[in-house]
Structures are given as structure tokens and as C-alpha cells.
Amino acid sequence: MSNTGNYIGTPWGIILCVDYYRDEKINGRIYHRYQTEPIRVGGMTEAVFEIDAFFDRLGYPFPGTESHYFIKHEKKQRIKMARKLSDEEMLKNNGEKGTFIIRVEQRQHSSWQGRVTWVEEGKTENFRSALELLKMIDGALGGMDIKEDAEEENQERAG
């Protein structure tokens, strides 16, 4: 991961605040500049669906492919969204376990391409798919999980 400053940099930037992480399961909040209240998520799959729905409402990044469904599904209308939060206001939000700035630049091949910044470490990495993004976030949080387990064991031994 390269080291870069913490900034949003795009109108479709997302902040994922992870408040709970254990055994590859997360709970957290998603922030974007068009809504003052966070979107609460109870897992990475839910986070991906929420972020993709946000992009669909915003109409950008434009999806390179059309979604197909087994049952009849209404297309979401693109809506004009008014900016409600500045980058500085968005960056005030942090997760208890980790904070990630997600900048999806393209949605091609039924997935996402862009950059993610792990705020606490100041590291930025490019990703080529939503799955790769999820693995990066899981890897970052998984390393913290290992540290916390070791700290708990040390406290138990000392106590």
C-alpha cells in the first residue's frame, strides 16, 4: 500500500467506518456527502449492496453492464442529489476498528475498480474488483484482530 493523505477527492467517495470486526464479520456505518445520517450495515455483503445502490441513485460511476434478475425487478431512477456534507465533515467519522475511504472510479465487468485508503494507517491501494476490495479490508482488519487476541492473552496471563 502506498502512503497518501486522507482526503475524499471525488463526489462519489464513500467512508466505511467499521465498529465491530470478529471472525470476518463486521458491523459499521457508511457515509457519503449526500446524506447526513449514516447508513448502518451488518456485514460486508450488505455494505456492497448499499454502496452499489448509492452509485445507481447517483448515476455514477456508470455501470458497464446491466443487472439481471430471476424475478421482475424495477429499475431505480437516477435522482439529483444535493451535497449535504463537506469532505471535512465526512472525515470526522471514524470506526472503532477501522476507517476506509473508498473511491470507486469505474464499474466495469460487473464489479468495481478504484482506490481504498485505510485512514488509521494512511495507506492507499488500488483494487480491480469489489471482491479484491473486500479482501483488502478484511486483511487490514484481520491483522488488527490478531493483535487484539494477543493483547487479550497477555492481559489474561498478567492478571
Residue 143, classed as helix, strand or coil, is helix
- How large is the average pLDDT for residues 10-31? 92
Contact in structure between 5 and 128 (CB atoms under 8 Å): no
Tens digits of residue pLDDT in 5-16: 577 888 889 999
More confident residue, 42 or 62: 42
Q: State how far the Cα of 118 lies from the Cα of 48, in Å rounded to an integer.
A: 17
Phi/psi at 13 (nearest 5 deg)?
Answer: -70, 145
6 CB-contact burial (10 Å; exposed 0-12 / middle 13-18 / buried 19+): middle
Q: What per-residue confidence (pLDDT) applies to 2?
A: 45
Q: State how far the Cα of 31 lies from the Cα of 29, in Å rounded to an integer.
A: 7
Tens digits of residue pLDDT in 106-118: 888 778 999 999 9
67 pLDDT tier (thresholds 50, 70, 90): low
Q: Which residue has the cell 486483511?
A: 139
Q: What per-residue confidence (pLDDT) applies to 72?
A: 58
Q: Is 101 left (phi over 0), alpha (psi -120 to 50) or beta?
A: beta
CB-CB neighbours of 135 under 10 Å = 13
Read off the pTM.
0.80
CB-CB neighbours of 132 under 10 Å = 16
Contact in structure between 48 and 110 (CB atoms under 8 Å): no
DSSP label of 43: S
Assigned C-alpha cell, 64: 458497464
Q: State how far the Cα of 23 lies from the Cα of 44, in Å rounded to an integer.
A: 12
155 pLDDT tier (thresholds 50, 70, 90): low
